[in-house]
Amino acid sequence: RVCGWPRSGGIRGGAAMDLFGDLRRMNKRQLYYQVLNFAMIVSSALMIWKGLIVVTGSESPIVVVLSGSMEPAFHRGDLLFLTNFHDDPIRAGEIVVFKVEGRDIPIVHRVIKVHEKGNGNIKFLTKGDNNEVDDRGLYKEGQNWLEKKDVVGRARGFLPYVGMVTIIMNDYPKFKYALLAVMGAYVLLKRES
């Protein structure tokens, strides 16, 4: 050793050798147990997500604000909690998350106008608080109003800036994969005391 570093491979080589050494030292039963433990964590997270979908009535009960179009109400990175109960009427001033044809990412904006017809059909127009014009330019071509079917959910609460982790992982995919690999390795190699 020179200056406390192992001769073979430095930090990267040593860490990789430790990882493979830990895997080799585990017997098959321990390895199966760790894989099962990891699968239980993943399935528990999916069950919680599906439960939230049922309870909130929204296909996406938690979303992250990706732009500054709703400032000062919401900032980029805020985590929004949504509900989408179809019995509740949509009103002007309400903040909704909606999807339009041709766009993959939902949009978080405020309802500025509502047209309610006698048969119960509701159409509405949205706008970002920080935008100069309404959202007609964001809707699909020829669409001037949104309908209830376009709504993913309505904002009921938020946590400021908690979603920045999601934004960073989307902006830097290598960071996301590295984080997932470290978490997976930790769960698989963690030994019970």
Weakest mean pLDDT among 16-25, 68-77, 98-107, 183-192:
16-25
Residue 130 is encoded by which pair of tokens? 């920080």
Does this model's pTM top 0.85? no
In sequence order, the β-bridge partners of residue 95 are 110
The DSSP code for 121 is -
Q: What is the pLDDT of residue 123?
A: 94
Q: What residue spans of the chain are helical by DSSP H?
A: 10-25, 28-56, 164-171, 173-189
Of 163, 146, 40, nearest to 98 (Cα)?
146
Per-residue pLDDT of 73-101, as tens digits, reads 999 999 999 999 988 889 999 999 999 98
pLDDT tens digits for range 63-76: 999 999 999 999 99
Q: Which residues participate in catalysis according to the annotation?
A: 69, 109, 135
pLDDT greater than 80 at residue 15: no
- Spatial separation of the C-alpha atoms in residues 63 and 83, rounded to whole Å: 11
pLDDT of residue 121: 85
